[in-house]
Amino acid sequence: MTRIVVLLKDIVDLNELKVDLSTRQPRVEGVKRRISDLDKRALEAAIQLKEKAEGEVVSLSVGGDKTRTAMLEALAMGADASYIVNDGGFAGIDALATSKVLKAALNKVGDFDLLLCGEMTLDSMSAQVGPRLAELLDIPQVTYTKRMELLDGRLRAERDLEDVNEVVEVALPAVVSVVREVNEPRIPSLMNIMKAKRKPTEEWDSAALGLSVDDVREGSSVEVVSVEAPVVERKRVAIEADTIEEAAMKLAEAIVAEGVLER
């Protein structure tokens, strides 16, 4: 039986994110959290693989109390169980430290055949956790995957390298990160949403993983000092004309003068 672990990260819903104009900082209070879109596509890929052959799909996330709600969506989509690393001491750690925490969590999750994740999360866009985790686990990795299939103890994947597609095969277990083109995530049915609350969810803190918060944080080499929206200065150019045609002509000339368009 194939066992697939999917790494999921819950982030603030970027469609609802607002910026405080006085501080230029994002307003995250009260904003809903959701699974990062590319991670959700990795989950969909895992569920599709499970549907083709007997297997199990479990989700793994490093988060907080609000992560439980986001992970319910994963269970409703088709994951069989959910594991959450919930320790406030890990808040704000970088990709390297997160990878080390995930490695410890995977030791508790147990043996797996495939580890899936999105190529990046849409909040940090670092694209580092998957590759770093593969190195820590010392297993093969396939990045930028847009199509995959399980063979007898191996994985065949098609990679999107922008100007060319590459087909590769690796032995299992392996780490695979997917791109947006891999699929379109399903919308859970009402029945599956109700069933999700009865599926197992387990949470661990640093002690349960045998980790020291201080040691993990010391291994975090990137510190986010602040997050601010860029300053946007508008030129406030007013187009005055007697007719619509004249206004259109003046607008086109102004756009060309700014270098946005060429004649």
Taken in order 107, 109, 112, 114, is the CA torsion positive or negative? negative
Structural domain for 250, as ranges: 233-263
**H/E element, 43:** helix 37-52
Q: How many CB atoms lie within 10 A of CB 128?
A: 16
The rounded distance, in Å, linking the Cα atoms of 69 and 73 is 7
pLDDT at res. 59: 97
User: What is the CATH classification number for the domain harbouring 41?
Assistant: 3.40.50.620
Kindly give the interhelix angle for 129-137 and 95-109, rounded to the nearest 10 degrees: 50
Q: Do 252 and 124 share a domain, yes or no?
A: no
Cα–Cα nearest to 60, from 83, 40, 88: 83
pLDDT at res. 65: 87
pLDDT at res. 243: 92
* Cβ atoms of 123 and 17 closer than 8 Å: no
Q: Do 68 and 188 share a domain, yes or no?
A: yes
- Would you state the structure tokens that stand for residue 148, as one six-digit string? 């995959």
The rounded distance, in Å, linking the Cα atoms of 46 and 155 is 13
pLDDT at res. 258: 83
pLDDT at res. 5: 97
Alpha-carbon separation of residue 68 from 14, 28, 132, 155, 191 (angstroms) = 19, 18, 25, 31, 19
pLDDT at res. 50: 94
Flag whether 89 is in a domain: yes
pLDDT at res. 27: 77
pLDDT at res. 144: 95
Q: Do 151 and 251 share a domain, yes or no?
A: no
Over its length of 263 residues, how does the chain's per-residue pLDDT go in tens digits? 799 999 999 988 777 777 877 788 777 777 788 899 999 999 999 999 999 988 999 999 999 888 998 899 999 999 999 999 999 999 888 899 999 999 999 999 999 999 999 999 888 788 899 999 999 999 999 999 999 999 988 999 999 998 899 999 999 999 999 999 999 999 999 999 999 999 999 999 999 999 999 999 988 887 777 778 787 777 778 888 889 999 999 888 888 888 877 76
pLDDT at res. 179: 95
Flag whether 12 is in a domain: yes
Q: Do 17 and 132 share a domain, yes or no?
A: yes
pLDDT at res. 4: 97
Q: Do 139 and 187 share a domain, yes or no?
A: yes
SS3 139: coil
To which residue do tokens 């020291």 refer? 212
Question: For the CA atoms of 35, 40, 153, 134, what is the dihedral angle to 10 degrees?
Answer: -50
pLDDT at res. 132: 94
Flag whether 54 is in a domain: yes
Q: Do 138 and 62 share a domain, yes or no?
A: yes
Q: Do 146 and 252 share a domain, yes or no?
A: no
Q: Do 209 and 242 share a domain, yes or no?
A: no
Q: Do 143 and 80 share a domain, yes or no?
A: yes
pLDDT at res. 14: 77
- Would you state the structure tokens that stand for residue 108, as one six-digit string? 């508790």
Flag whether 226 is in a domain: no
pLDDT at res. 254: 86
